[in-house]
Amino acid sequence: MRRPVLLVVAHGSRDPRHAATVHDLVRRVRAQRPGLRVETGFLDFNVPSVGAVLESLDAEGVRDVVALPLLLTRAFHAKADIPAVLSEAPPRLRIRQAEVLGPSPLLVAALERRLYEAGLTPADKSSTGVVLASAGSSDPEAIAVIADVAREWRHTGWCAVRPAFASASLPRTEDAVRELRELGCARVAVAPYVLAPGRLPDRIARGAAEADVLADVLGPSPEVAQVLLERYDAARTPLLTALGA
């Protein structure tokens, strides 16, 4: 039996860097899992839409799909938008929605990779405060997850780690930077906990103006690609079991 198609469901953005980064990430996923068919659909702004991809797969005779939200937390898009779009798919398609990417130790490893690429070294950890800067959400569950990630990451040796948000929640990045300065950290770094460039990541960057180090977005890092494959594998197993495979 063929493996289910992996449909990566991205939010979409008017910023062309967003779609370009998503496609780079998907290419890395394909490289890490040769033979797996991976498609990309967008909820808004970019093409193809999720619905158009599902219609195309149905027309080809595909029957099994794992739809994977390209999201770091379970907020509104994962709980409402994506299920609503999937519910309108052709009825012959068997679709299973995978879990969102976060939290995951691999994502923390990707955050550290970006900080080291921006100039820090492991020897800097004990004297460096880190702002874990996410897009933000009005969903309390999503905010709690970011706070938990920051708390757990602090235990790996950083001077301190503080969460911050570009929208919907507080504190803002610039406020967390100042808090870490006042705490006495020798240097302050901002680690964007976002997958691709866009309006909110740009806001994070502006808020990092007084920081010593600003890391890049997670983007198409190998750790993120590996998380996608882990979520796919976890979702496809019960799907295949139900089919008797």
Average pLDDT, stretch 33-50? 97
DSSP letter string over 33-59?
STT--EEEEESSSSSSBHHHHHHHHHH
Share of the chain above pLDDT 90, in %: 92
Average pLDDT, stretch 208-225? 98
Q: Which amino acid is at 205?
A: A
Average pLDDT, stretch 36-50? 98
Q: Is the pLDDT of residue 77 over 60?
A: yes
Whole-number pLDDT of residue 2: 83
| 229 against 138, higher pLDDT | 229
pTM for the whole structure: 0.94
Average pLDDT, stretch 213-225? 98
Whole-number pLDDT of residue 10: 97
Average pLDDT, stretch 165-182? 96
Is residue 105 very low, low, confident or very high in pLDDT (cuts 50, 70, 90)?
very high
Whole-number pLDDT of residue 193: 98
Is residue 152 very low, low, confident or very high in pLDDT (cuts 50, 70, 90)?
very high
